[in-house]
């Protein structure tokens, strides 16, 4: 049996925050889309591809 002590509150928070970069909202395409850097045709292309 391994001796694993629970994380502190700060360690737990950091483990969760480290996973944030894996979320789709951090993908460069989503960042551009939500910051207004994509034009109408680019958005329409994304929609067509997404729901194809």
Burial 20-33 (b: 16+ CB within 10 A, else e): eeeeeeeeeeeeee
Helix axes 40-50, 28-35, angle to 10 degrees: 130
Secondary structure of residue 51 in the 3-state scheme: coil
List the pLDDT tens digit at each of the 52 positions of the chain.
Answer: 457 899 999 999 999 999 988 888 888 888 999 999 999 999 999 999 988 7
């Amino acid at each position: 049996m391994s001796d694993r002590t629970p994380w502190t509150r700060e360690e737990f928070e950091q483990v969760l925050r480290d996973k944030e970069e894996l979320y789709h909202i951090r993908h460069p395409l989503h960042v551009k889309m939500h910051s207004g850097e994509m034009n109408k045709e680019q958005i329409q292309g994304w929609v067509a591809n997404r729901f194809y």
